[in-house]
Amino acid sequence: MSRTIACHECDLLHRIGDMPQGASARCVRCGALLYRKKNNSLDRTLAFALTGMMLFILSNTFPFLAFKIEAQVQQTILLTGIRTLFDQGMRTVAVLVLFTIIIVPFLQMAGLLYLLLPLKFDRLPPGLPQVFRFVRWLQPWSMMEVFMLGILVAMVKLMKMATIVPGVAVFSFLALIFIIAAMTAALDHHQVWEKWDELR
């Protein structure tokens, strides 16, 4: 089945025919990625979202980093920094950090679970277009990998001052970054819309 689409970056019209699994189509004029056909996209995305949810719970409940100077130990969880910022009067910054490293990743995973679990059993979740549009809108605001770089920089900065002990949450957070990246990469949004067209 061939269909016509316009390049989302330069508006040139293309006819895309049947493509083998794993193949990708690029715009002939500007080189933008038009479409990539992915294997078992929806199943894989669902599996990553489920795994991610478990890691998310670990990352937010277990000890994150501990800071030791002589006898004093400062134990933190992921939320501690956000709370401290809030208490210091940096409310906007605290909310932004909360949004980009906790709320957005959670909503992305929860949204995809809400959409893909019923679709797996050929049922339509109510409000699919709105929820899916929202999940895609969230994409650039998920910044966990940037936060990980921030952890590294902060650790180096404090290395001379004290001992820093990474907790369980640091490792589950690192794993979560890879799972979310894999989840985003596995999702073929055309397949969601095809399923929607087929079921509604």
Partner 1 sequence: MTFIQKTSLNHGLISCHSCHLLCRRNSSAGIMRCPRCGAGMHLRKPYSIQRTWALIISALVFYVPANVLPITTVISLGKAQSDTIMSGVIYFIRTGMWPIALVIFIASVFVPVLKLLILILLLISVQRKSAWRSKDRTRLYRITELVGRWSMVDIFVVTILVALVNLGAMATIHAGPAAFYFSAVVVITMFAAMSFDPRLIWDTEASSHG
- Interface map 152-171 toward partner 1 (x if CB under 8 A): -xx-xxx-xx--x-------
Rounded distance, CA 105 to CA 180, Å?
Answer: 8
Would you list the DSSP string of 94-134?
Answer: HHHHHIIIIIHHHHHHHHHHHHHHHHHTT-PPTTHHHHHHH
Nearest approach, Cβ of 56 to partner 1 (angstroms)?
Answer: 18
- DSSP helix/strand/coil, 170: helix
Convert residues 124-143 into a mask of x (bound to partner 1 by CB under 8 A) and - (unbound): -----xx-xx--x---x--x
CA distance 6 to 15: 9
**Strand-strand pairing, 24-26 and 3-6:** unpaired
Q: What CA–CA distance (Å, rounded) separates 193 from 190?
A: 5
Per CB under 8 A, contacts with partner 1 among 42-101 are 65, 67, 69, 72, 74, 76, 80-82, 84-85, 88, 90, 92-93, 96-97, 100-101
- Determine, following the binding rule CB under 8 A, whether residue 104 of this chain makes contact with partner 1: no
**Which of 18, 21, 122, 197: binder of partner 1 (CB under 8 A)?**
197
Give the residue with the Cβ less far from partner 1, 136 or 175.
136
Residue with Cβ nearer partner 1 (51 or 102):
102
Other C-beta atoms closer than 10 Å to the C-beta of 124 total: 14
Rounded Cα distance between 185 and 66, Å, is 33
Contact residues for partner 1 (CB under 8 A)? 3-6, 8-13, 29-32, 65, 67, 69, 72, 74, 76, 80-82, 84-85, 88, 90, 92-93, 96-97, 100-101, 129-130, 132-133, 136, 140, 143, 146-147, 149-151, 153-154, 156-158, 160-161, 164, 189-190, 193, 196-197
